[in-house]
Structure 1
């Protein structure tokens, strides 16, 4: 079946002229039917073409297609590949967390590319102008639908697709690697039998020989890692010497670099012939690489690949591997999910990995199968060879996995409360019957019927029949009891707590702790330590581990923060590590022992601080919200507390703020007073100084006019005195609080241009002096609060 006969208007989209036999079998259902379609087929068998056929059918009908990609890296790849659609006059738009959303482009797009997480966010906010585009989707293509079984992300994919189907009822085309229970996925998506396809290993373009190899333990984990590397090299060597290529998966970015460096030594010691060695052109091209270690490595035919490399370096490594210049490639799991880089030999060196938030975890069975499926290059190899290098105790587990595959399970039960809360917050679930109607749209419901005795591996206990309603009722009761949902008779309503928990994708127990802190802050002041400790103790960090080598670094950081007792002594070691990373980030210097996990933990801390700020706005006051905003700015930039207000100025980030603070300019008002000349003297270029000054003038500068406020008042007298608070520069939301001798007299929030408050003076016999203080705090800006006071004698 030729492409130009099947889809003549879209023939240029496909990089080949004829469909293969798997594609021919599924093509009528995908291209000519309106039904939902589910296809399970081996890796590298050509499923991407089916996704493109589904897109073609949608565009032919002037519809909008949504492609759900399992990884952000893959969304970027599709954007590049699908320039072919752009060449035909269609618009392809990628929506990811690393780019600012352009609602106009998203609305006009013919093809949207998103991760499940971004689609989840968009469906939650579909009734806003920025995200209304999601309701115009006519066809949803789910790439790697077996992601449903992912511990962390499976439930997000599940509820997102279920919600999207309720919002706009798109056609769904789901694609997957081989899965034994495809009928469950088809049942969930209402795909009829004649639109459900299972293509076995006989459809692999290259036969796969897979096995499990064990290794002898060394004296410590470090030795074990290198023993696994030598075992991987033993397995790869015959294929490399025969002119083939080997792809070795390791657990971390750092390990890809270290393994590649060690592998170069092994190649030299064993005198393994590599085609790139001595190639003058290769030496010249390698000089263009940004990564120094990679530049030295590729000239020997050895390379590494991970998400931290620059886009240019990754593109070069992928191109060299495709053309055979690089014969031995070390990578993280990113290459397993969608990037089309097969190899004759694939070895999984590490079956366990360190997750900054979870500690040491086993690689998921899905990842294992996905990686092994990369073995065998169509058109080049007669067979693919794939190996798992495993601890002897785990060998049988992996042999069973290779022999029997992995049934796809629902992970919704693991965080059913959070997802049910989100449905109530969004207004989709308004009574108990709605809860059951929602559950019946999920994969969880389908698996509960087909596996009443639970998952075959014992990992999940599915409720069946009436038990499902009982479990749902129990989950709902807990949401009501914890204050996330209100139940008035038969009606369900979200509370402010429930809405915030849904908006920020939080664990519910964390949301409860945040609300408790905010409510305490409304009654008495909280400090920086309270904020950091609450975030560090969040349930999101419960699985963080502090390795022995990190604990001294944790103690040194927390010891430097406080001169007496160590901070957070009552926290678990992992949560103290999070606290130490926060403190180190605020100082702008993180100990080397903590750096490997610091970036991921800091990003999650910043997300939770943004949430805590919203909780403070809802349940506390401007002072608490301002405190959280200042802590957030310091964790993000590493700027000192006295200069954190500079980060409120657009164009002043960490480096520039540090430079200005070193010159004694620590507030936006200081910048305005310095003028362009003073900012240039502080080290800014004239153009930057002009822009910074312009932005600083947009921020408020507080002035308090006490008017005729007296110096004294007679015993028993009373007086009411107007006090004016205004900004002499820009305006912003501000909380204005008046206290006398530390006791609150009044508190209000206003958009500060100019506001007047009346202060009552009372001559009392309880004291000889009355100290009145006006405090102005900006809840949404990291500006330090401004306080002025007057003391009145009682005569």
Structure 2
């Protein structure tokens, strides 16, 4: 279908697409248009990665906007939200306005009302519904990207309930659900009352197969020699082969080498594999690539003072990298950009990279097809859906002539097994996880508090609109879980029954829903806050770390004894009664929460980042995640303390500020100045500047010296503090105010420290 033949789109869109080199639609895109996606019809598109899902979304959204409507694009990850926003902003030249919202769960996002296209995570959309964002009722089109994640036990129920609520609020809402891998796309289409485009078409070939022996065995029955040298591992041989140019008999390059994405099952394996494979990629780098990679590596080292940062930079200098959730977000962004630019030739990643972020490669190697499962107590095979998501990263139009995705076999029997288990297999059906108790108690309270339902009968009616209700064969299961959770909410004073028999949220219940808390987290926090008027920072950190909303650090081998001793030594600071050591599971959870709390305490005591990562066995991204979650939960605890009139609110507020800035209490005021943060605050404090007010009126020579003789930094900090004359022209640093960690004055404005956690 020619782009100028697409009906009901904005008049500027066809020419824009043609200017971008798109003259006709791919077959699945054409099917979507024929199904009415540009005319307001709902659609489920189950098509391979790189087959044009984003353009289907754009056709739907921009057509809705052209009709005077508003569109919402729901993504599973914050990183994907930023990526999509950047893509959609290319259309602002035509008067389209784009907004993105991913955090601050107690906001109604009023500013988004003026935007034509809004990009948000499913959690953020859920929170906007809870907080009564009025523009939610004005939505005409909602796109759900990676919709197969309704199968995820943690995030799936939120996406499922959010879509059900949006459809309930907007009966004529167009829903466009996108996924590369849905085993039961027809069920999702039935649930959403949508047309279905289910296609295996790709713009370039993707061959799937298995490497065994000295050859690649493909799903089309062909084999290609790919020899593994005596000193090599198969992954290294595949990366080497992918990088090698194909030449003809005259020595002319027929096909330039490409990049490789290697999926492994743990962070440690990702780091170790990248270190080894850097020796494979390094000889294939040209001089200009080496120079560019050196710059990227320097940026990576500047993100955090940790061994992880240094190890990543060392690998990147040689053209390889690792990618996992333990990295800081800036680390991941730098790696992804360098990989897309084909500077980094090989990335070793955990499966998180398969979740939608645009990282194309010539070849994908699924090195590890088993991973550890705590539930199973051992190694378990990955799902077909996960492996196909990884394989779908191979090959991108305009970048690769083809894509290849391979697993690795150690025996002929395993070769046959991998073909049967993954290469030839269809993805598993997507199944709702809504009936799990944590999801049910959370979403029941939100549904009652936001006025979607006010009785058991209307709750049942609402739940009948969910995917779970269309899939379950367990008669009464949903109502049984619902009734159990309603009792829990009532016992904890989050809901009550009126004289007329209606269900309504209490004032406390409204607060819990608005704060986006799991009701069990709220109950845990309230119980703890009622036990002490002036709890310690550690006590508060441990309290929020015991909630279901905090993902705790696990106890490594040998740590149970260490943290048991810590628990007894600091028992008086902890809020609540510790479980008995004989209740092994509960006691271990208590210790895991303590370990997580002590990480937060170390951060708030200004312990160096590298010491924290070493002591707790985490990466800089883990610190960021724990601090973000603790800041949110402590903010919620402060609101709950205020709601209940508890005297602990001031202690909670101070603990929140300390963990937010990563400082001791004497630096809270100073660290709150934008651009200062933990390390610069300490330097200024040691130079005799202890408050925002003192900084506002400080001697500029003292500030310049304390900030390591960096004029631009000093000017910015003084301006943010409200100094009347922040300019540093002709200012000489006061030698008596220079920090001890600087051997001699520096006159450039580069900075190797982190002014704040946000600069990781």
Question: Do the structures match in fold with TM over 0.5?
Answer: yes
Structure 1: runs of 5+ lacking an equivalent = 215-226, 269-273, 453-462, 696-795
TM-score when normalising by structure 1:
0.71
CA pair 180-525 structure 1, distance change in 2 beyond 3 A: closer
Aligned-partner Cα distance in 1 for 2:548–2:487: 21
Identify the residue that residue 615 of structure 2 maps to in structure 1. Answer: 593
How many Å apart are 1:378 and its aligned residue? 4.5
CA pair 212-157 structure 1, distance change in 2 beyond 3 A: farther
Aligned-partner Cα distance in 1 for 2:376–2:525: 22
Residue 347 in structure 1 maps to residue 365 in structure 2: yes
Aligned-partner Cα distance in 2 for 1:486–1:98: 28
Residue 265 in structure 1 maps to residue 275 in structure 2: no
Q: 1:61 aligns with which of 45, 51, 67?
A: 67
Give the secondary structure class of the aligned counterpart of 2:103. coil
TM-score when normalising by structure 2:
0.74
Aligned-partner Cα distance in 2 for 1:96–1:565: 33
Aligned-partner Cα distance in 1 for 2:520–2:371: 27
How many Å apart are 1:482 and its aligned residue? 3.0
Residue 547 in structure 1 maps to residue 581 in structure 2: no
Identify the residue that residue 716 of structure 1 maps to in structure 2. Answer: none
Identify the residue that residue 370 of structure 1 maps to in structure 2. Answer: 389
Whichever structure has more strand as a proportion of its residues is 1
How many Å apart are 1:642 and its aligned residue? 4.9
CA pair 576-281 structure 1, distance change in 2 beyond 3 A: same
Identify the residue that residue 746 of structure 2 maps to in structure 1. Answer: none
> Number of residue pairs matched?
645
Q: 2:502 aligns with which of 491, 496, 503?
A: 491
Q: 1:10 aligns with which of 1, 9, 13?
A: 13
Aligned-partner Cα distance in 2 for 1:285–1:678: 37
Aligned-partner Cα distance in 2 for 1:104–1:482: 31
Aligned-partner Cα distance in 2 for 1:689–1:377: 48
How many Å apart are 1:155 and its aligned residue? 0.9
Aligned-partner Cα distance in 2 for 1:76–1:587: 32
How many Å apart are 1:541 and its aligned residue? 4.6
Instruction: State the Cα deviation string for residues 494-530 of structure 1 (Å, max 9, x = none).
Output: 1233223322333332211212223334xx6544454
Instruction: State the Cα deviation string for residues 555-579 of structure 1 (Å, max 9, x = none).
Output: 8987997999999975523122112
Aligned-partner Cα distance in 1 for 2:394–2:690: 58
Give the secondary structure class of the aligned counterpart of 2:12. helix
How many Å apart are 1:490 and its aligned residue? 1.8
CA pair 602-231 structure 1, distance change in 2 beyond 3 A: farther
Superposition CA RMSD, Å? 4.3
Identify the residue that residue 387 of structure 1 maps to in structure 2. Answer: 407
CA pair 406-341 structure 1, distance change in 2 beyond 3 A: same
Give the secondary structure class of the aligned counterpart of 1:505. coil
Q: 1:608 aligns with which of 633, 637, 640?
A: 633
Instruction: Note if contact 1:486-1:494 (Cα within 8 Å) is conserved in structure 2.
Output: yes
Instruction: State the Cα deviation string for residues 73-125 of structure 1 (Å, max 9, x = none).
Output: 22222222223321222112222339999957522222111121221121222
Identify the residue that residue 286 of structure 1 maps to in structure 2. Answer: 293
CA pair 89-641 structure 1, distance change in 2 beyond 3 A: closer
Q: Which has the larger radius of gyration?
A: 1
Mapping for residues 469-508 of structure 1, pairs under 5 Å: 469-488=479-498, 489-508=500-519
Residue 313 in structure 1 maps to residue 334 in structure 2: yes
Instruction: State the Cα deviation string for residues 536-567 of structure 1 (Å, max 9, x = none).
Output: 32234576411127668758987997999999
Residue 511 in structure 1 maps to residue 522 in structure 2: yes
Structure 2: runs of 5+ lacking an equivalent = 214-229, 247-256, 302-310, 580-586, 708-713, 725-760
CA pair 308-398 structure 1, distance change in 2 beyond 3 A: farther
Mapping for residues 201-240 of structure 1, pairs under 5 Å: 201=200, 205-211=204-210, 230-240=233-243
Q: 1:79 aligns with which of 74, 81, 85?
A: 85
How many Å apart are 1:61 and its aligned residue? 1.0
Q: 1:427 aligns with which of 442, 451, 456?
A: 451
CA pair 662-120 structure 1, distance change in 2 beyond 3 A: same
Mapping for residues 349-748 of structure 1, pairs under 5 Å: 349-351=367-369, 366-378=385-397, 380-381=400-401, 384-387=404-407, 399-400=420-421, 402=423, 403-414=425-436, 415-448=439-472, 452=473, 463-464=474-475, 466-488=476-498, 489-521=500-532, 526-541=535-550, 544-548=553-557, 571-572=587-588, 573-589=591-607, 590-591=611-612, 592-594=614-616, 595-596=618-619, 597-621=622-646, 623-644=647-668, 653-659=677-683, 661-662=685-686, 671=694, 676=698, 680=702, 683=706, 688=717, 692=721
Aligned-partner Cα distance in 2 for 1:424–1:508: 13
Identify the residue that residue 459 of structure 1 maps to in structure 2. Answer: none
Give the secondary structure class of the aligned counterpart of 1:197. strand
Give the secondary structure class of the aligned counterpart of 2:364. strand
Instruction: Note if contact 2:204-2:403 (Cα within 8 Å) is conserved in structure 1.
Output: no
Greater RCO (CA < 8 Å, at least 6 residues apart) = 2
